[in-house]
Each structure stands twice: as C-alpha cells, then as structure tokens.
Amino acid sequence: MIEMRRKCDVLVVGAGPGGSTVARYASQAGADVLLIEKRQEVGSPVRCGEGISAEWIEKYDIHPDPSWTRNKVDGARVFSPNGTMFTVNAENAGDEVGYVIERDAFDRMLAERAVRAGAELKLKTAALGIVKKDGKVVGVKAECMGERFDIEAPIVVGADGYESQVGRWAGIDTTMDPKDVQSCLQYRMVGLELTGNFVDFYLGSKVVPGGYIWSFPKGKDEANVGIGLQVSMVKEPGDAKKYLDKFIAAHPNIAKGQTVEMVAGAVSVCAPIDRTVADGVMLVGDAARQIDPLTGGGIANSVKAGKVAGEVAAQAIEAKDYSAGFFQRYEKGWRAIFENKLYRDYMAKEKLLTLSDETLDKLVGALAEGQLTKVSTLSVLQAIKRKYPELVKEFESML
C-alpha cells in the first residue's frame, strides 16, 4: 500500500462536484492539492434526480459526453393541481433545457479532471475533525481503513455535502430552519410509458404539501420519479413515500413501471447563509447551502462556487495568506455569480408555498397562455406581475 501524504497546501474534504472542481482549479493554478473522499468510489451510490441545465457546463470546460449525458431532454413541463401544463422548451428557454445525466459517471469525470490537473485523490479517507494550533486551522484529523492520522494543510475546503461537518468544526453557522429543508425520496423506474421527453414537475397540496414531485426521463421507458417534501410539514416518517406512491398510483402511465433503485436524501432550500469562510476554511456546494431553493438543484452551483474557491485557494497559497479576510475573494466571488438568483428563487419558493391549489391553477394557466420568449424565475415572476400583481407584491423591488 502506498503511504498517504500527510501534508499539502489545500486539503479538500469531499469528492462531489464541488470538491472535485475546487481540486481541479486549485491544481491547475499550481497549488499542491489533496482531495479526500470517505466513500470507496466517487459518485456512488447516487443520491440525485440527475437533472442539469445545459447553459453553464461549457463555461466550466465540461463537454457533454455520452459517458455521462444519458438523455438530452426537450424541455421542462410544470403541471398545476388540475393538470394545466406550462412548457419550457428550447424556443422559450434557449440553452436552459438540459440533460438527465448518469450522476456517478459525471462525478467520476470531474474527479478524474482534478487528478489529471495534478490533485491527489484519496478514497476511503474521512475527515473526523479540524486541527487547530494557536487558534489557527492547520489541517484535519482523518481516518483511512481504520488508521487515524492528521493531515497538515493551511487551507481546508469543506465540500462535504448536505451533512457537512467542516463548517460546524470551523464555527461557521450552516444550521437551517426545518421549513428550509426538503426531505426527498426517489425511485428509478423502468417500464414506464412516458408522455414526452421532458423533465416534469407536479405541484399542489394534494400532490405534496410544501414541495413537488418530479419525473426526469433517463430513456424511452425509464425515469427518476421523486418527491421533495418540506421537513416541517412531515407528520409521520413515511409521509414522503405515502405521497409519492399515491401520485404514482394516480398516473397509470407511471404505475406501469417498476422501481429498480431507491434514493433518499435531503436538500437545503434556504436563503443564502451569511458566511461561507473562516480563517483557513472555505465551504463549497451543499456544505455552503448553495442549492437553488426553488428547484432543489445544486450541481451547477457547486461547480460554479468550486471554481472560485479553487482559484482563490491557489492565490492564497501564493500570497501565504489564509485568513478569512483573504477568503473574501471567494465569498464575494461566488455571491457575484449566483447569490441574487438564490435570493430571488428563495422568495419565489416561499411565495409558492402560500398559494392555494386554485391560485396555482390560475398561475400556471396564465404562464401557459403568456407566450414567454425567455423563461427564467425573473421572467416568470414578471409575467405573473402583469396578470396577478397582488401575488408578487412582496418582492416588487426584485422585479
């Protein structure tokens, strides 16, 4: 067995899309990077609906490849409680339409990019805590195959996902209100009779209170069918399964299929948190609560933030400055890219949760008639404002 290195410039905890992207960009800029992943295989098991939009990937030098782009979809459809449908397609969303991916292959591709850029990847290696000296972060306590040891590093990047501990260890508040957490359950189903090549979203209190159901097609007769339910609305532990099974039973074209894989997990749907850095530490991706609160999608933002964190980490090594002050470059950098969208989508999500089924029917109906030329949260809210100004009064200033 090759002895593991116990010292590096930048220690990245977690080889999800966020961590691998940090490792790639920091290595490319010349930093000595160690990427540790507690699982034995990057990307597995998959805990994801596997939907991404196409618009951002090439900007991050990620090129669609059949090894991970399972299905290029024709767009998205939103169904209101009475079945009214609003379609987002290439005509009104431009590049916004996207892919249903093989998430495990996608994550492996990103980790391989990091390794090819010079990062060292260590599997089955978990961070157990942060090591501090004179109040300063100087590394992490780690464990690999039963052996415990310290890894010295002046910069620790917490890309350790929804259940992140690095933030807590570093004194960064990443706690959330239960209303800002969605508990998710998903079935990968085969043998379905899909009605189009669209990612579908179903809304309404009877479908699921405080959340939505999705169906993301992976092929002609195969889809990820899942539910996200606001944790504060869960009355009993099996609620998510109950709503999902009820929905499937009511849709014979889906009920025809069978479940071959189940996935459970949680996503944050909170407003941006106040701080994602501390002396010696940066948080990236789900660990930094960077998931889009309206869609629950977090892959794109973890890559976007990962690039900024990777570049800033390399600059910090060069400047020999690992302070929270220096890391403002990261704090400001990621916020400049997508913080406004996080806020806007958070407000939209909060509003959506207050709407009755009748109002949702009217809204989706108005959007379906509205002939939007470009679909984004902003354009949708503006269209709603034209027809039902009272519904968007609270966030007038953002429109």
What residue ranges bind ligand FAD (CB under 6 A)? 13-19, 36-39, 47-52, 126-127, 159-162, 165, 184, 186, 226, 263, 265-267, 285-287, 291, 296-300, 302
Nearest distance from C-beta of residue 1 to ligand FAD, angstroms? 19
Looking at beta carbons only, is 267 or 384 nearer to ligand FAD?
A: 267
**Token pair of 372, please?**
């939007």
Backbone phi, psi, residue 352, to 5°? -55, -40
Q: Cα separation of 381 and 377, whole Å?
A: 6
Burial of 324 (0-12, 13-18, 19+ CB in 10 A): middle
Q: Are strands 281-283 and 155-158 parallel, antiparallel or unpaired?
A: parallel
Q: What is the nearest approach in angstroms of ligand FAD to the Cβ of residue 321? A: 25
If the CB atoms of residues 154 and 211 are measured against ligand FAD, the closer one turns out to be 211
Which among 241, 248, 288, 284 is positioned nearest to 264, based on CA atoms? 241
Q: How far is the CB of 182 from ligand FAD (least distance, A)?
A: 8
Shortest Cβ distance from residue 131 to ligand FAD (Å)? Answer: 14
Output the smallest distance, CB 85 to ligand FAD, in A.
Answer: 20
- Which position has the token pair 């964190």? 309
Q: Is the Cβ of residue 204 or residue 226 nearer to ligand FAD in the bound state?
A: 226
Helix ranges (DSSP H) in the chain: 17-28, 90-93, 103-116, 166-169, 239-249, 252-255, 299-319, 328-352, 357-369, 377-387
Residue of 214, 213, 212, 209 whose CA lies nearest to 235: 209
For the CB of residue 71, give the shortest distance to ligand FAD in the complex, in Å. Answer: 13
Q: How far is the CB of 111 from ligand FAD (least distance, A)?
A: 9
Question: Cβ closer to ligand FAD: 84 or 165?
Answer: 165
Q: Would the CA dihedral through 47, 49, 51, 52 be positive or negative?
A: negative
Nearer to ligand FAD, 79 or 214 (CB): 214
The number of angstroms, rounded, from the C-alpha of 368 to the middle of its chain's C-alpha atoms is 27
